[in-house]
């Protein structure tokens, strides 16, 4: 299954089978050690970058890319990844994105569309409950720990919570959260396979026509 094939490029909610696929991919890839890491991943997928939103400018983006290059995880990341289970946002990793030759200005333009997205807190809470069902023995996060974390925060308000320090140390903040459907409208050539090689050298093709990939899709 390709990331851009999940529920027609971000149109509509994921099917139960697609949710299982995305959830397992996240848990297998990142092996989160703290419930708040699962929470934040889901939260950004529903609500967007929150307090992590950056100034929409080329200067700010270039500066963040330079900082991201310092982090050791950047060379093992795909250009984009699923984010949460809402099928609303996608995570764009800055260093792989820049190294493909993609126009940075276009990413800035896509970021500006975040304001058009309307989150659904109830869906977020349902996705949190769904993630509990995906935990299996041997994982560092357990259902009991997720329940305890839920009691530590005003969960009914779906507040913004930061990733754990362990997460930041391992993966950093070298990414942008952007509307999924808009990203694939601008970059339909990124038919990335979730779970494939994290460092596959995709290159942006400026001559790629949008209707060449969308023709024939329902």
For 11, the 3-state DSSP assignment is: coil
Residue with tokens 């290059």: 69
- Using N-to-C axis directions, what is the helix angle for 16-30 and 35-47, rounded to 10°? 130
Q: What is the pLDDT of residue 206?
A: 45
Cα–Cα separations (whole angstroms), residue 109 to 26, 59, 195: 27, 13, 28
Q: What is the pLDDT of residue 111?
A: 95
Q: What is the pLDDT of residue 177?
A: 97
Q: What is the pLDDT of residue 73?
A: 63
Residues 63 and 76: their CA atoms lie apart, in Å, by 20
pTM: 0.83
Residues 131 and 205: their CA atoms lie apart, in Å, by 36
Q: What is the pLDDT of residue 9?
A: 42
Q: What is the pLDDT of residue 209?
A: 40
Cα–Cα separations (whole angstroms), residue 5 to 116, 142, 186, 206, 208: 22, 30, 15, 22, 18
Tens digit of each residue's pLDDT, the chain (218 residues): 444 444 444 457 889 999 999 999 999 999 999 999 999 999 999 999 999 999 999 999 999 999 999 876 655 678 999 999 999 999 999 999 999 998 999 999 999 999 999 999 999 999 999 999 999 999 999 999 999 999 999 999 999 999 999 999 999 899 999 999 999 889 887 754 333 333 333 344 444 343 333 333 33
């Amino acid at each position: 299954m390709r990331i851009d094939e999940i529920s027609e490029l971000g149109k509509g909610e994921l099917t139960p089978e697609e949710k299982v696929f995305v959830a397992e991919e996240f848990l297998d890839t990142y092996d989160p050690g703290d419930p708040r890491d699962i929470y934040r991943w889901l939260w950004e997928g529903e609500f967007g970058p929150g307090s992590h939103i950056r100034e929409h400018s080329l200067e700010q983006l270039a500066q963040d890319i330079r900082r991201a290059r310092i982090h050791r995880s950047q060379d093992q990341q795909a250009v984009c990844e699923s984010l949460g289970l809402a099928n609303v946002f996608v995570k764009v990793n800055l260093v792989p994105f820049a190294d493909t030759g993609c126009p940075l200005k276009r990413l800035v333009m896509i970021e500006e569309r975040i304001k058009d997205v309307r989150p659904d807190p109830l869906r977020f809470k349902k996705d949190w409950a769904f993630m509990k069902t995906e935990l299996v023995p041997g994982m560092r996060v357990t259902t009991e720990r997720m329940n305890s974390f839920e009691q530590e925060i005003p969960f009914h308000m779906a507040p913004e919570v930061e990733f754990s320090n362990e997460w930041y140390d391992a993966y950093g903040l070298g990414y942008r959260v952007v509307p999924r459907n808009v990203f694939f409208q601008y970059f339909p050539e990124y038919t990335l396979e979730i779970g494939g090689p994290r460092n596959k050298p995709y290159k942006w093709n400026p001559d790629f026509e949008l209707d060449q990939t969308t023709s024939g899709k329902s």
